[in-house]
Structure 1
Amino acid sequence: MSSKPSGGRGAGYGWRWALAGLVAVVALALAVWPREGDDNDVNSGRERSTRAASGVSDELRAAAGLSACPQPARGPGGNGPLAGITLECLADGRTVDLAAVLAGKPALLNLWAYWCAPCAQELPYLQQFAQRAGNAITVLTVHSDPDEAKALSRLSGLSVKLSGVLDADARVRTAVGAPAVLPVSVLLRADGSVADVVVRAFNGVDDIANTVAGELGVAA
């Protein structure tokens, strides 16, 4: 009976260990190698986490059917008292750089809350005005209360589809120096400066149109 030399057995084990080491190195390289789409996946995950943290479901947002928030225009970012303020878009929960999305066009910001009766009367007028004005001016609602779910339900009940943001800490009101009452409408020039702060409820579409034309020169 013969047997393999001990040296051959040692060489076989050596090759096995070398091969195992090579496989481990390749696996490690594949694990850390950057892959196309990873950044998008991470960003999407962060957005989903942000929306989940707000406590508002995608179903509730979909039922409200709000218009998407404005997108930043090309060119320099926005200036004025709203510079640096980021808020959550009611339509999809994404973060909105307020000054950036309003830059380059006159704007009407309507500060309201779900519990405000005069706000509920005024919001449908604002939607009608926005439809009349078209692209000449940006009309954005600013819910000045932390209860986002009730804001969406209120807008849904009023059939108001205007784009809007959540301002849980009343940062817009503080930035423009408005009093702690609602509703308040802030009229902004295209450069981001404040033309007027209207501390009352509008009584109709013509009232809004006349006020905007007088302060911003926008006809609707």
Structure 2
Amino acid sequence: MRTRLAALLAPVLLALAGCTAAGGEGATTRDGAAQGRPSPFQDCAGLTTPAGATPHGAVSESVPNAADPPAGGPPLPELTLTCFTGGAPIALRDVRGPAVINLWASWCAPCRTELPAFQRLSERAEGRLTVLGVNTRDTRSGAQSIGEDFGVRFPTLVDQGESLQRSLGRSAIPLTVLVDADGRVRHVDASGALDDARLAELVRRHLAVAVPQ
């Protein structure tokens, strides 16, 4: 009886072992393939500009008849983050302003909802402001897949330790930081997924920059 029972159980145990092994190997292979693909994001070399230089030879356009945003505001935190595409680390305080910085992760549903609007903002406002992503608490393969699926191409930094969130005193994402030409934080938005109209309004109100529609 024992011999017969062992014979019946053997194929089941082997099948279960095969599923586990195959699943683990498949996951490793998929993750390796994702990391081997070219990055959808732009490199970060253009994020900083030497003192006195004008980015892309462009002049920022202010909103006609709009009041200038109030002076002051804290500077960006003194942090250095890596670029998703590699290369030299980027000091946040060296990022060319005015800038819109979006903190996001692939597992965050509101982040996925609003990322295409930030991509469109980067295209419509090119030469007027910098759009920069900061991917946080995420896997590289997850961030890469979102960039590919949603056509996100603006430069993206990596902040797995949530250092920027902690420096800003915020815990939730998505988080959008509006920074003026002097590198000072004018507004931090944590209201949820932003659309094109809301983004344009935030940029107009806090940075006095017109975004073509």
| Shorter-normalised TM range | 0.5 to 0.7
Unaligned 5+ segments in structure 2 are: 1-31, 53-73
Match among 46, 61, 65 for residue 40 of structure 2: 65
CA deviation after TM superposition for structure 1 residue 118, in Å: 0.7
Counterpart AA for 2:40? G
Paired position in structure 1 for 2:113: 121
Summarize the Cα distance change of 1:120–1:93 in structure 2 as closer, same or farther, 3 Å threshold: farther
CA distance in 2 between counterparts of 1:117 and 1:126 reads 15
* 3-state SS of 1:67 partner: coil
1:95 aligns with 2:89: yes
Paired position in structure 1 for 2:103: 111
Unaligned 5+ segments in structure 1 are: 1-54
* 3-state SS of 1:135 partner: coil
Contact kept? 2:101, 2:132, Cα under 8 Å:
yes
Paired position in structure 1 for 2:164: 172
CA distance in 2 between counterparts of 1:126 and 1:158 reads 11
Give TM-score scaled by structure 1 length: 0.65
Contact kept? 2:107, 2:138, Cα under 8 Å:
no
* 3-state SS of 1:157 partner: helix
CA distance in 2 between counterparts of 1:57 and 1:182 reads 24
Q: Which has the larger radius of gyration?
A: 1
1:120-199 alignment runs, 5 A limit:
120-177=112-169, 179-199=170-190
CA distance in 2 between counterparts of 1:109 and 1:82 reads 13
Which structure has more relative contact order (CA 8 Å, sep 6+)? It is: 2
Identity %: 29
Q: How many residues align?
A: 158
Give TM-score scaled by structure 2 length: 0.67
Paired position in structure 2 for 1:28: none
Q: Which of the two has greater helix per residue?
A: 1
CA deviation after TM superposition for structure 1 residue 131, in Å: 0.7
1:68-83 alignment runs, 5 A limit:
68-69=43-44, 70-75=46-51, 80-83=75-78
Summarize the Cα distance change of 1:155–1:211 in structure 2 as closer, same or farther, 3 Å threshold: same
CA distance in 2 between counterparts of 1:126 and 1:138 reads 11
